[in-house]
């Protein structure tokens, strides 16, 4: 398997794990219905951005801290 294929396989596998978490959240009525699968796509894109902060001139965060920050923003929103 070539590097590009491995990268794509990793992304698909990661997306599937995230989607399973979202399915559980919907079953528990903690998340709204999402027929277009926008929520997991958004979360995956945001995670990539959090791990590439240097591109925007921001200091890097440790992956654990970046994940906690992203999950908090996702679940609680950006309001006060």
- Higher local confidence (pLDDT), 3 or 59: 59
CA 42 to CA 20: how far, in whole Å? Answer: 15
- Higher local confidence (pLDDT), 11 or 59: 59
CA 54 to CA 79: how far, in whole Å? Answer: 25
Give the number of domains in the chain.
1
Q: Is 90 exceeded by the pLDDT of residue 7? A: no
pLDDT band at 29 (very low <50, low <70, confident <90, very high): very high
Give yes or no for a contact between 50 and 71, defined as CB atoms under 8 angstroms apart: no
Q: Is 80 exceeded by the pLDDT of residue 3? A: no
pLDDT band at 80 (very low <50, low <70, confident <90, very high): confident
Q: Is 80 exceeded by the pLDDT of residue 42? A: yes
By residue range, what is the domain housing residue 43? 3-76
């Amino acid at each position: 398997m070539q590097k590009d294929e491995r990268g794509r396989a990793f992304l698909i596998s990661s997306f599937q794990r995230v989607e399973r978490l979202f399915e559980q959240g919907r079953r528990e009525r903690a998340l709204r219905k999402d027929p277009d699968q926008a929520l997991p796509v958004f979360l995956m894109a945001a995670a990539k951005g959090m791990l590439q902060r240097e591109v925007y001139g921001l200091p890097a965060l440790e992956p654990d801290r970046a994940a906690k920050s992203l999950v908090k923003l996702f679940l609680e929103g950006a309001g006060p």
